[in-house]
Amino acid sequence: MKNKQKTSYTGAIVASVLLHALLIGGLLLGADFTKVAHQPSGQSIEAVVIDPNVVNEQARKIRQQRDEAKRQEDARLRRLEQQAQLLEQQREQEEKRLRELKAEKLAAEKEAREAETERKRIAEAKKKAAEEQRQAEEAARLAKEKAVAAEAERQRVLEEQRKAEEERQRKLAEKKRAEEEARKAEEERQRKLAEKKKAEEAARKAEAARKEAERKAAEAKRKQAEQEAALNELFSGLESESATRDTARGRFVNDEAARFGAIYTQMIKQNLLVDNNLRGQECIVKMRISGSGLLLDVNEVGGNPSLCRATKAAVLKVSSFPMPDDKEIAAQLQNIELTVKPE
């Protein structure tokens, strides 16, 4: 392949040189000749004048033709090389395909030989297995006869065991039922005992709260009487200071209402039953109380729902709250909002 390319390239160079020679000869033949006269000798000499522009143009054309010839030759050589590479690839692929076909043929022949060997082995194995199966069936028949007798005996023993187990389970179930009834009875007894203790404790706390509330109410009443006496003494005859007296009176009423609200809150807390996880939570309730201190209604205003349910229950347990004799203070307490926070 390389020798052919070299020969083609050499031929192209020779052709280019010959072409250049022909072009130069053509220039010489087509040149412009001018006659010049010489007087002494009586002979004429002709001089040849060559136009350099024509020569340059011809040279340029020669170079272009040479370059074009080389370009075409290079392109032809590249095409030939590509064709050679393609043919080489096709040859290699064909050789590979033939090798693969040969390998497949050898593998198929080997597989056929192995299959025949396996067929013979399987046939021998089937023959041996058939004999073994016949012997096994005979042994199985004898064993089955023995097994039938053994199974009958086993079933008889199992039936006796089943009946014994049923009797044992029946007695065990009766025992468990009796124990469960006894356990439930004990739990019911303990529950009632706990409820009784809880009710007694709640009653004790309610009684203590009632007494404490009465004591505080009496103390508040006493202080109120003292304060009213002091106020009456202070403001008697001082009509010009009525505004000051009204302010002091309003402050006194608010302070007393707040003090009674604290008493109510304490009474509610004494009846409050909550889990430890509600510590730190709060509930706001609004109570409506009669002039005599009887609870008329209680509603949730906001706070933890679980705590509010427990708070309402505690309020209902108190049911009656101490009221001051002062009607203005009592009027404020008849509609009061309290905030309950478990400690």
Return d(Cα 277, Cα 197) in angstroms, integer: 24
Of the CA atoms within 13 Å of residue 226, those in its CB half-sphere come to 6
What digits encode the pLDDT tens for the residues 279-294?
889 999 999 999 999 9
- Does residue 300 form part of some domain? yes
Q: Is the dihedral of CA 225, 227, 233, 235 positive or negative?
A: negative
Residue 128 lies in a domain: no
In a domain, 155, yes or no: no
Q: How far is residue 58's CA from residue 63's CA, in Å, rounded to a whole number?
A: 9
pLDDT band at 28 (very low <50, low <70, confident <90, very high): low
Alpha-carbon distance of 135 to 141, in angstroms, equals 10
In angstroms, the CA 264 to CA 338 distance is 8
Structural domain includes residue 69: yes
Q: Is the pLDDT of residue 3 over 60?
A: no
Question: Residue 9's closest CA among 59, 72, 54, 88?
Answer: 72
CB atoms inside a 10 Å sphere around CB 261: 18
What was the pLDDT predicted at 330? 92
Query: Using CA atoms, how far apart are residues 343 and 10, in angstroms rounded to an integer?
Result: 116
Angle between helices 52-235 and 305-318 (to 10 degrees): 10
The chain-wide mean pLDDT, for the chain, equals 83
Domain count across the chain: 2
269 domain residue, yes or no:
yes
**CATH code at position 232:** 3.30.1150.10
Query: How far apart are alpha carbons 306 and 73 in whole angstroms?
Result: 103
Most confident of 4-8, 117-121, 200-204: 117-121
Residue 15 vs residues 12, 57, 59, 284: alpha-carbon distances, Å = 5, 20, 16, 119
Contact of 338 with 265, CB cutoff 8 Å: yes
**Is residue 188 a part of any domain in this protein?**
no
What backbone phi and psi angles, to 5 degrees, belong to 51? -75, 120
List C-alpha distances in Å: 286 to 169, 224, 325: 61, 25, 22
The span from the first CA to the last CA of the chain, in angstroms, equals: 108
Identify the domain boundary among 11, 41, 76: 76
Q: How far apart are CA 32 and CA 48, in angstroms?
A: 6
SS3 117: helix
319 is a domain residue: yes
At 306 the three-state DSSP class reads helix
Q: Look at residue 236 in the predicted model and tell me its pLDDT.
A: 64
Domain of 12 in residue numbering reads as: 1-25+51-76
> Of 14, 42, 76, which closes a domain?
76
Q: Using 50, 70 and 90 to split pLDDT, how confident is the model at 23?
A: low
Q: In angstroms, rounded to a whole number, what is the distance separating the alpha carbons of residues 326 and 224? A: 8
> Quick check: is 146 in a domain?
no
pLDDT bin (cut points 50, 70, 90) of residue 135 is: very high
Q: What is the pLDDT of residues 33-73, one digit of tens each?
A: 444 444 445 555 556 677 889 989 999 999 999 999 999 99
